[in-house]
Amino acid sequence: MYVVNFLTPGIFWAGQQTQLNHLTRTDRALSWIHIAFLFWVSIMPFSTNLPAQFTAYRVALLVYRVNILFLGVTLYWSWNCALRGGLVSGDVPAQVSDGIKRRIINAQSLYAFGALLCVVDPYWSLAVFAGVQLYYALGLRRMS
């Protein structure tokens, strides 16, 4: 679980860095959105530890999943805020912007599928979570 606890924020921080690389400037609202993002990152050790200690309890997986959901929602929100606020560099192709959104939506959909599997078996749910994290940690582009 330590590796999962290390990988999850790393994956989301890499996504955040991708977004930040495309900005020409920032504003107060975007800064506060990123502070909210850091809040969700800061509680990852707690939410990751729950399924490690209480694997058979579905609520532990749900808390972990909700934490990941809020990380994804906050990243999606920050990108849309940057687009609406004119903070994204004008030379960023639409395909890049669409790709950023698609990766977040795809990841969240896969995590949601994993969360639904906890109804059948919590271990299957954890296996899907691990698979999604490995996929994104390795930076594979097949689904993007």
Q: Mean per-residue pLDDT for 28-41? A: 96
Give the confidence band of 21 by pLDDT, cuts at 50, 70, 90: very high
Cα–Cα distance between 55 and 61 in angstroms, integer?
A: 8
* pLDDT at residue 142 tops 70: no
Tokens 């940690």, residue located: 137
pLDDT, tens only, 73-121: 999 999 999 999 999 999 999 999 999 999 999 999 999 999 999 888 8
How confident is residue 134, by pLDDT bands cut at 50, 70 and 90? confident
The domain ranges of the chain are 2-137
144: pLDDT strictly greater than 60: no
Question: What are the phi and psi torsion angles at 23 (to 5°)?
Answer: -90, 145
Tokens 């991708």 belong to which residue?
A: 18
The helix (H) or strand (E) run that includes residue 72 is helix 58-84
Instruction: Enumerate long-range contacts of 140-143, CB under 8 Å, 24 or more apart.
Output: 143/103, 143/106
| Per-residue pLDDT at 66 exceeds 80 | yes
